[in-house]
Amino acid sequence: MSRVAYLGLGSNLGNRAAHLQRAIDRLAAAPGVTVVAVSAIYETDPVGGPEQGPFLNAVVAVDTDLAPRALLTLAHELEADAQRVRVEHWGPRTLDVDVLIVGDETVAEPDLVVPHPRLWERGFVLAPLRDVAPALVDAPAGGWPGVRRVADPPTVSSPGEPS
């Protein structure tokens, strides 16, 4: 049975906007996944890790019957497609895809925790999540520090349309 899942996208290496757009297009083309909403694009100060450049972040809402584990596999495929190389833990990356929420399902496994355990403390997730799921997130007065809306939601290509 399908339900809505939320995936967080982040990039701070190379053509950041292009990495997010390609990930969204590939999500839209993935079997078993329908993109139902995409947030605006936010430029965000890096949280954690070494000194590194700012991220672009977005959240995508998908209607899917894929299990959380299958969504994680898809997330890793999107990261590999962006030629992400894991050089430095929490360091700069072409693309990061996090499984944030999958309906009301919970998972607690070593490599997969759903809902994402740091979701509610990260402005770079909460600001875009609020765009696509306003009932889930209250906005603090003045917004989230270090989080700037920089672009309207990217367009989503129809399945089968060349990207």
The residues carrying an active-site annotation are: 84, 93, 96, 98
Q: Closer to ligand GSY at the Cβ: 96 or 131?
A: 96
The residue nearest ligand GSY at its CB is 10
What is the sign of the dihedral through the CA atoms of 141, 146, 151 and 157?
negative
Q: Does 159 bind ligand GSY (CB under 6 A)?
A: no
Q: Closer to ligand GSY at the Cβ: 2 or 15?
A: 15
Q: Does 10 bind ligand GSY (CB under 6 A)?
A: yes
Asked whether 97 and 8 are in contact (CB, 8 A), the reply is yes
Q: Which of 155, 146, 129, 140 is nearest to 43 (CA)?
A: 146
User: What is the closest distance, in whole angstroms, from the C-beta atom of residue 30 to ligand GSY in the complex?
Assistant: 20
Among 4, 36, 47, 112, binds ligand GSY (CB under 6 A): 47
Query: What CA–CA distance (Å, rounded) separates 19 from 107?
Result: 28
Query: What CA–CA distance (Å, rounded) separates 17 from 57?
Result: 9
Binding site for ligand GSY (CB under 6 A): 10, 44-49, 55, 57, 90, 96, 98, 124
